[in-house]
Amino acid sequence: MFHLRLVPDNTKIPFMNGRFAGLITSAFLSIASIILFFHPGLNYGIDFQGGIVIEARTPQAADFVSLRHSLGGLGMGQVALQEFGSPQDVLIRLERQPGDDAAQQVAADKVRATLAETLPGTQVRRVEAVGASVSAELFANGMLAMGLAMVAMLLYIWFRFEWQFGLGAVVTLLLDITKIIGFYAVTGMQFNLTAIAAILTIMGYSINDKVVVYDRMRENLRIYKKMPLRDLIDLSINETLNRTLGTSMCTFLSVIPLALIGGEALQDFGIVLLLGVFIATTSSIFIAAPILLFLGENRLRRGTPEAAGPGNPATTP
């Protein structure tokens, strides 16, 4: 009976030969991402920066020239118009209006009125207007959630495995996340609450993936007591390769529809998740494992329960 295999059984790919190449590529990409984060920076959405987004459907194909003219004439700073989905669907973005939180509401009402005047029959499908104090709070909460998630992951893995695993996983996570943020900076995608949700999801997925590979390493550490750590890591990765790729494939397949037909709100989310699944899968192999190799070369074996009997406490001299 034929069964689809993403990689043949009994692969013996020496992944650890590529450990420097993997780490250097990853570090390079992450450093580039950090630079991009500061310059040109992220395109913060209204959740985090305040401002107004209005989604409208015009009766005929939208007349961008007159729309830009009439909205630009309101004196409300830069007005970004964007077509999406169909020529009748327009997304209008206004930067945060000077003044207090209530000023956003006034501006949103003005745009509504102008739309009704310039293009009669226009249907306003969505309005979001967020003031500065709300957006500052949302941003703080988002960052807090990410930070806490990171700490929680570290503690969890530390508790379940030895500290080398926890540190390896968290460093890998940091490298993963910086790349995602770099992606937001390069593409100019809106960085908003959905982006935080995407990043948290990718963190969860990435840790998930690391846990499976680490689990196998721990198991093999008990079985093959004499095998050098480097070979043992390679063996563990190869043994779990079909699972790693299979789960990535399934997640990929389930997210693809989101990226294709998710609508304005979820399309970006889907695209970032697809990228995240890719990054998380490769980082399990090329980042998390080499870090573990460097951290644990001489120490890890001592930490296994078999080696550390009651009369032989696991302390490093």
Contact positions with another protein (CB under 8 A) in 146-165 = 148-149, 152-153, 156, 160
Give, for 130, the enclosing helix (H) or strand (E): strand 123-130
Residue numbers 199-218 binding another protein by CB under 8 A: 200-201, 203-205, 207-209, 211-212, 215
Sole window of 17-25, 28-36, 197-205, 289-297 interacting with another protein (rule: CB under 8 A) = 197-205
Residue 11 to residue 268: CA distance in whole angstroms? 36
**What string of DSSP letters covers 172-204?**
HHHHHHHHHHHHHHHHT-EESHHHHHHHHHHHH
Cβ 298 to another protein, closest distance in Å? 26
Residue numbers 74-103 binding another protein by CB under 8 A: 100-102
Cβ 273 to another protein, closest distance in Å? 7
Residue numbers 37-66 binding another protein by CB under 8 A: 55, 57
Cβ 125 to another protein, closest distance in Å? 4
Cβ 219 to another protein, closest distance in Å? 8
- Looking at the Cβ atoms of 70 and 194, the one nearer to another protein is 194
Q: 83-106 burial, b if ≥16 CB within 10 A, otherwise e?
A: eeeeeebbbbbbbbbeeebebbee
76, 273, 279, 292: residue in contact with another protein (rule CB under 8 A):
273
Residue numbers 103-142 binding another protein by CB under 8 A: 104-105, 108-109, 112, 123-131, 133-134, 138, 141-142
Half-sphere exposure of 278 (CA within 13 A, CB side): 10
Burial class of residue 67 (count of CB atoms within 10 Å of its CB; 0-12, 13-18, 19+): buried
- Dump strand ranges (E) for 32-117: 43-44, 51-57, 79-84, 86-94
- Looking at the Cβ atoms of 1 and 65, the one nearer to another protein is 1
The residue among 191, 151, 172 whose CA lies nearest residue 37 is: 191
Sole window of 3-11, 70-78, 279-287, 294-302 interacting with another protein (rule: CB under 8 A) = 3-11
